[in-house]
Each structure stands twice: as C-alpha cells, then as structure tokens.
A and B are shown apart, each in its own frame.
Chain A
C-alpha cells in the first residue's frame, strides 16, 4: 500500500483504528523519498534509521494500549535551521555543514513529545536568506510541479517535500515570507503565526525580530493540528507570548458569513503578474460568494515595507551571524596564521554570496553615522506599517492579498539579480514587519503552476485565518490536486 499521499488527519485515523502502523507509514514515506527525491532534492539529511526506530517505538506503545494522539507516529520534515539534538543542523550553509547541536529546539521537542517521527531535515536558502532555495550552500531544490522551476524559499525544501508527498507535513520558518512564498509556489498550505506565538528557542537566528516558525501542510485542517502542537509560551524565549492557545481545529469547516475581507488596493497596483492578479481577484469573489463581505482598504505605507525590511533584516543578520567564526563549532579554516586571518578565511570560505551581501548591508546600516539614518529610520517605518494594519483591522477581520507577485520561476532566472529576487517578498514582508499571522493557501493555477492566496489576521487571531482558509479550501478542493510525477517517476503519484 502507498500511504505517503495521506494527510496528517487521515493517517491519524488509520493509526488510531489500528489499520496501519507508524512503521508502515514511515516506510512508505521512505519509499517515496527513494522514488522522487532524485528529482526534488528537498532533503539535506534523511534520518531513515532514526525514523524507523522511532516509528517502531511508537507502534509498541500503541500496541501496549497507549491511545495515539493526533500526531502519534506521523512522519514529518524539519527545516534545517531548527536544532535537532545530535542530528545535523546545517542551515544549508558550508559553515555549519558538520554542526550537530547538543540540544533540540522547543518546537521539535514538542513534536517529539507528541509522537511525531522526524524523517529528515530540509534544504533551504543558506541561513534562510533567499526566495528560491538556490542560495543553499549544497544544492538547489526543485519544484515538484515543474522540476525546471524553483520551489520558492527560503523554506523551499519543506514546501517541496510536502507537495511531493515526501513528508506528511513540515516545519518551516518565515522571516519575510519564507513559509508563505514557497507554500504558494508549491501549492501547499503555509502558515506564519503571530510573532511570539511559537517559541524560537533552537531556531537558528536570521533576523530575530522577524523570524517565526510555522507549519507547511497539505490542507488547512492539518495546519490547525500542527499549530495546536507548536504554539504556546516558552520560558526559554523571552519574546514568546503567554496568550491563550485555542484548539485551532475548532475553526475548520465553519461558516464565514459576515466575515469582513479587507482588500488593500496597494497590493493589486504594485508590480504583479496579471494572471496572478486575476486568480487572487477571483478568490476574493469566491469568498464573497459564500458570505464574506468585501471591504476596500488603503494602506499607504505598504510600498515602504520592502526597503525598510532590507535594512532591519540585514542589520540583525549581520550581528546574528557574527558567532560563526570557526572557533567553537562548524567549519574552521585550518591554516590561519593568526586570529584575524582565521576569522577572515573561515567566514570568506564558509558563507555564500547572499549571506555575505546581507552581512555587508547590515554592518553598513548599523555603523556609526549611519545608524540613525538607516536602522532607526527603518524602525520608524516599521511602526508606521504596523499602524497601517491597526487602522485596516478596524474595518475588517482578515486581509486578503496575493502571496507572491508571480508563480514559480525558472531556476537561474533571478539568481543574478538580487533586487528582482527581493521583490518576491513584496506582499509577505509588510505582514512580517507588523508581526502578524498569515497563511498562504492554493487559490488557482497559471500554466499548471500553483498560485497562493495570502490571508492575514489580527495579532493572535490565527483562528479567524483558519476559518476563512478552510472555507475557501472546501469550496475549490485544490488540496486534492497534486503534482503529476506519474510520467517520470517510478511508483507514480
């Protein structure tokens, strides 16, 4: 039997009814990986033996009478910037190619406690800097819908393996769109929770005031299940918030009559592909057809979000990445004459070009004489953007926009033009700057490639996002549409 195509809640039912074992499910995933990973290249590390051992342990517990929870025995993939004890955690960087953390991230601990089976660590843009996974220090991940195209990024590996049924779900991280944009490109559901909702303890820092971990799943119900598992205050992360965590599955399959959908005109007048604009426009109409009420919005500071983001993000990154100096862990340049040379050689050969670019930008933005003009001014813009959203949410419950201005592009198409690449995040970055929750769900196709719809919510109101996303998903049933590996993959789809 082929179980790899199951969703989390479907697999849970089968495990609960003792119809399949976690081992069978995990083996099926391993077979699938063997069949399609040669095309997708989504994993940096596959933890096959570890996963099978964990699955057998879970089966034993269930055989001994333990009632399986919603995630017991469910195989998942973890983005390679989330620390997993004694298992390689590389950030897809040469500088951490041999790094095995001595501790696990809080999110991973939580998943482990709830019985999840980690089957591997997924590829990403190096240190999560990028929108195509082409910036991985190791290899480029392919889009399962068209292997000539990128899966998006930086959580490209996580999105691709979920789309390709190489995991039942995955964890990603989102700094300026790194969950939502690849979810959009790969036709899966990607959720960035409110900043502070999920502990960042053990998430290797990129831009600390923006980073947030979230789920990448095959449908909205699975997304709610994973949010249930990972949200909550963590005493190890001072920025995590002790807000109540509702059961998010309660928001699935609910009526959305009377929900006010904010549609900011700025998001549809910026640089955006006509076809994407058309698909997302239709999505809004569809939502209105099932009872949502459309509200036109003005969010004048939207255009300043990206430039401000590209000051704050590199500034924090330049500092966060200072610790990779080759002294204590990771890659070390061995033949240095002195300390300064050791730093220079280690960092010059350990980091890739995009990482170096951001370190340079960030170092500049924080330098004495520039700090006020760049970093501080960007922070002021940031609060104006947050105010834009505050104002907007006085008149609506959620805001609906495209996730990205285009569908997936060809590998190599934008890699030599950083500014073009940065524009990928134009619709996701404002949300990150305001720390708000948002999801990307598939809303249509352009030339056989998925288009994503971004639904943005009020702080800590992930529930309403789930409600709208679930209603939309039920209407179009796009979660049932999968990439056609059949023609070129042994085993088929």
Chain B
C-alpha cells in the first residue's frame, strides 16, 4: 500500500523587541541565567502584566507579511497548565482572537508554485527554560532559567498542506526569509528564537480521512525538521503496514540517535481551561494603526523577486537566489544602480561574491566589499583596464581588506597590456622559444594556438589583453 503524508507545522518565533511582552526586562539572548527577571516575569504573587505595544505591532507586521487578515478586537487569555518552566501556572496567549488568520506562503517546489495556507498567527509569552545535566531523560534534576519567560513570541500554525519533508524545509526557509525581511525576529533556530513542531500523519494514497497524528518536538535545525519528518513517516508506515494503529502522542526528536521517542499521549489531552486574563484589558486594534504598519512593510521576497525578473530581466533562478535575504537583495540593487548591467552584476554575485561569502563563512552584512567598489571593479573590466581573470584576483583582495579595486590594480601593476608593439615583442619571444607547438599549429593542430596564448599570458603574468594576443599570434603564424 502507498501512503500519503499530511503535515502541518507550528512555528514559534521570538520577537526582536528590546523588552519582554509584559514587563521591562531585557530580551537579550545568552545572559547569566535568571539575570533578566523581575516580579512580573517571575510571576511573583501580586505582580501584574502590562502589555508591550511594540510586541503587538511586530505580531501585526508578521501577520501582514504572511497575508493574514488582522483581528480588530482581541483579548489576552490564560492557558492554564502546570509545568516547572511556567512561573504563573498559566501562559498568556491569544486563544480566542489570534492577531492574524487565513494567510498563506507560496513556495517553489521544482519550479512550481505551491501555496501553504496559514491557519493563524497569534501572540503569546515564552516560558522559562529547563536546563538539564546531559540528556533530558537521564538528568537527575532540572534547573530553570527564567530569562526567556515573558519574551514575546508569535506562533504560526499552518494548515495541513505540506506533503513531505522537502516541502516542510522549503516552507520553513521561505517563512524565515519573509520574517527576516520584516525585521520582527532574528529567526535563529540554533538559539531557539525560531522553533518548529510538526504534526504528522499518513493515510492511504487518495484517501480523504486523515490518520492519527503525532506531534514531533525538539527539532533544532531545518535539517533535523527534515530528518524528523522522514523518520516519522517511515515509522508510521511500518506501523500501518503491520495493521497496527498509530498512537496519537507527542514525540521527541533525538538528533544524535536520529530517531523519535514517545513523550506523552494525546489521549490524556490537557484541558487548558482558557479564559481572558482579567489583568490585561482587551485590545482594539485601530484600523489606521494597521494601515501604518502595512505601509511601513518592506518589499517582501516575492515582490522583490518579481521586480528583479521584470525590471532587470534576470532569470527566475537568479532572482530567487538574489532575494534570499534582504541584505543581499539590497546590496544587489545598489550595485546595479551604480553599474547598470544587471545580468553581469548577478553573475558576479552568484559566482564570486556568494562563493567567497560561503567559503569564508561571512555574512553579507559583514562583507568588506561595498556596492560602490564592486561597481568600480566591473567598470575596470568594462573599460578593458583589467581582464576578467585578473579581476577575480582583485576581487579576492577587495574581499580580504575592503580596498578600492583601482588602488589594488595600480599598486600591483595589474593593468592589462593592450599596447600592440609590446605584445608583438612577447609573441615573438614565445614563437621562438616554442618551435614544436608552432610546427604543430602550422601542421593543422588548432589546439596548439591555445598553448601559445597561454605562454604569452604566463610571460605577462596574465596582464596581456587575450583578444589582442589571439589576433597577433594568428597573424604571425599564417
């Protein structure tokens, strides 16, 4: 029997506000445990939450970027449950009226656009973090760090539109790109500012009835999301093939073992007894305010990509790569403004610039090359001052120390030799020194010309204008 997976994702994203959602504590990552806490985020008796307007603004911004409808009246509700990382015994969340509903994200699956629907986006507070000695199941005790408690989060819930682990990865990447564009989060999976849980079920191909689902947690990278989903699909297929039933439960992804283990059953589902928190007054989101936030949204990846194709005449592939981060796209835009040959610029980006960034593990924001310098370099090639080959070496220098290309070219004497008399002299020497290849060429072996050109380039340390060398050599050996 063939099976068809049904996958929905729940993504938690920490917002980049300076302070927490209900108090003035800092949200900076990596501080000494429990150093960023106060009576409010510790849930001390008598403390009261006061809503951070910026967090609401960020949630609206994210929801707009995901094409959601924005709620005009909302409450902040208590989700009651007991856990050691939850200082008040409840989490404040938008249970009844999420900020955004009915949105979507389009992804590119093998050249086809596929729409993944967003069920909702809601704002809530993060919990504290339990720290364990070694593995969670083997640790003799837990310690709690409340620095994270009260950091604002948005939870984004997709519809079960994802069919396999690859689509899940593409969706997450696209979502991350969009959210990074909006600036509401740094979306670092390794620091936990972006976290993904996956609801996975499988059903016989073509079936309309969903199978029992499991919820997979603790996947800390795109790769582990992909691996976790694959593992779970295989596990569930085996169960169904043996005529057993998949137990609805929450499962824990173990990265080092590459497998999932059961955490808790969904048959004993918690009743969260949600009700509006009487300490937080209901919020009416003013239409003008939403419009302001909408207008302040940056150009988002899909729009930008479309513009790159239309305005710059770039292939879809180039446009997609160049818009993969806002910073890269901005860098590209600026370079093209200074050197108006979009495809040439794109080739340099996708070849040289991104290659070096990847190899040296440097972010575009830390790159020492400026759009102006890159444009200058391309102009030097265009004017024939240096060859394309030399330019690549110059670019490496620029990347290393951020110098202007003109200065590097002058300093190292890399200006292309286009003086006919000078080149003829070198050609003369090469012809004399290589009688064998010269004979070969004259005898019809066209390949030998390439060798002779190479010798000229070698003698001139690559500075000779290759087109001219070709011509002079050709004339000479006629």
Contacts and interface: CB of A to CB of B under 8 A. Distances in A.
A263 interface: no
B82 A325 contact: yes
Contacts of A99: 45
At the interface, is chain A mostly helix, strand, loop or mixed?
A: loop
Contacts of A328: 42, 87
A270 to B, nearest CB: 28
A65 B281 CA distance: 45
Given A83-B45, A200-B48, A366 B275 contact: yes
B80 A319 contact: yes
A99 B84 CA distance: 19
Interface in A122-158: none
A83 B46 contact: yes
Interface string B180-193: 00000000000000
B44 A201 contact: no
A368 B80 CA distance: 12
A339 B45 CA distance: 21
B18 interface: no
Interface residues of A, number: 44
Contacts of A96: 45
Nearest to B76: A238
A343 interface: yes
Interface string A103-114: 101000000000
Contacts, number: 98
A208 interface: yes
Contact of B48 (A207, A238, A315, A363): A238
B278 A102 contact: no
Contact of A323 (B43, B279, B280): B43
Contacts of B90: 319, 322
Q: Is the interface of B mostly helix, strand, loop or mixed?
A: loop
Interface residues of B, number: 29
Given A327-B84, A328-B42, A236 B48 contact: yes
A39 B88 CA distance: 38
Nearest to B84: A327
B140 to A, nearest CB: 12
Contacts of B82: 322, 325, 343
A265 to B, nearest CB: 32
Nearest to A343: B82
Contacts of B43: 323
Interface in A324-344: 325, 327-329, 339, 343
A10 interface: no
Contacts of A101: 39, 44-46
Contact of B46 (A202, A315, A339, A375): A202
Given A319-B78, A343-B82, A368-B271, A103 B44 contact: yes
Contacts of B278: 207-209, 239, 316
Contact of A238 (B51, B84, B271): B51
A194 interface: no
A323 B89 contact: yes
A485 interface: no
Interface string B45-84: 1111111000000000000000000000000001010101
A325 B273 contact: no
A316 B144 CA distance: 26
Contacts of A325: 82, 84, 89
A412 interface: no
B387 to A, nearest CB: 67
B49 A238 contact: yes
Given A319-B275, A322-B90, A328-B87, A205 B46 contact: yes
A454 B50 CA distance: 33
A343 B82 CA distance: 8
B273 A102 contact: no
A101 B39 CA distance: 9
A89 interface: yes
Given A102-B39, A209-B278, A367-B271, A323 B46 contact: no
Contacts of B274: 366, 371
Contacts of A200: 48
A420 to B, nearest CB: 28
A296 interface: no
Nearest to A347: B82
Contacts of A375: 275
A236 B280 CA distance: 11
Contacts of A399: none
A59 B315 CA distance: 84
Contacts of B84: 325, 327, 339
Interface in B248-277: 271, 273-275, 277
Contacts of B80: 318-319, 322, 366
19 contacts: A81-B46, A89-B46, A96-B45, A101-B46, A102-B39, A103-B47, A203-B46, A208-B278, A235-B50, A238-B50, A318-B273, A319-B275, A327-B84, A328-B42, A343-B82, A366-B80, A366-B274, A366-B275, A368-B271
Interface of B: 39, 42-51, 78, 80, 82, 84, 87-90, 144, 271, 273-275, 277-281
Which 3 pairs across A and B sit closest by C-beta, in order of nearness? A322-B89, A209-B278, A366-B273
Given A101-B46, A238-B281, A329-B45, 4 more contacts: A318-B273, A323-B88, A328-B87, A375-B275
